[in-house]
Amino acid sequence: MRPSIFRRPLAAFATAFALSAYCLPFCALGASTGDAAPEEKKQEQQAEPPPLKLEKPAKDDGILARQRALDLAGAFSNDGYKLRDGFWFFPLSPNTAKLLSVHLFANNEYWFSGASAYPGTPLKIEIFDAAGEPVSQQIFAGDGVAAAGCVPKTSGTHFVSVSAEGEHPSPFCLVYSYK
């Protein structure tokens, strides 16, 4: 049997725990504070809160541009193309081309799909080899979206040129697929 010194703290803890568990519901209802009668507190707690008015949040321009680019790239995934994990996002100034460096492998098929956050922005995507010569490619352009597909003859560094026409800068996202 344990000495009495060990029993007292345990007994005191058990008594304090039992009292706190017993008094806690009354304290929560305000019986010990004298604020209001417990019946009034129960009625206030049971009253339904007013319905929440949820407004649809505005999408960030970057998210919208990426969503539109992925929608376009999804059409190529139906043909067996695999979508790369990464993406490029940058503001695209009007009448100014941006160059991206990518490493492509010979005889693989690639589609570069891009989209502006704003529909109606005319876009153009072109692919060049390491020497700066255009690679034979298929081109698609739509309402604020564009795509370019190619099958490089040599492996190595290639450049993707992206440009927009218009009056205002536009957020732009580019993704690519391969097969």
CATH of 61-178, one of 2.60.120.380, 3.90.580.10, 3.30.2310.20, 3.30.360.10: 2.60.120.380
Which pair of tokens denotes residue 125?
Answer: 């995507």
Q: Rg of the Cα trace of the chain?
A: 33
Cα–Cα distance between 168 and 141 in angstroms, integer?
Answer: 19
Give, in degrees to the nearest 5, the angle at Cα 134 between 176 and 115. 35
The domains of the chain are located at: 4-46, 61-178
CB 81 within 8 A of CB 111: yes
**pLDDT tens, position by position, 28-67:** 444 444 555 556 555 555 666 555 444 444 468 888 888 9
**The model scores a pTM over 0.95:** no
What pLDDT was estimated at residue 174? 94
What pLDDT was estimated at residue 55? 44
Give the long-range contacts of residues 12-20, CB within 8 A, separation 24 or more: none
pLDDT-derived band at 127, boundaries 50, 70, 90: very high
What pLDDT was estimated at residue 102? 94
What pLDDT was estimated at residue 58? 46
Which whole number is the average pLDDT over 4-19? 46
Closest-CA residue to 103 (of 152, 146, 140): 152
- Percentage of residues in the chain with pLDDT exceeding 70? 67
Cα–Cα distance between 151 and 135 in angstroms, integer?
Answer: 8
Report CA torsion sign: 71, 77, 81, 84: positive
Torsion of CA 70, 168, 132, 80, to 10 degrees: 10
What pLDDT was estimated at residue 43? 57
**pLDDT tens, position by position, 81-117:** 898 878 898 888 888 899 999 999 999 999 999 999 8
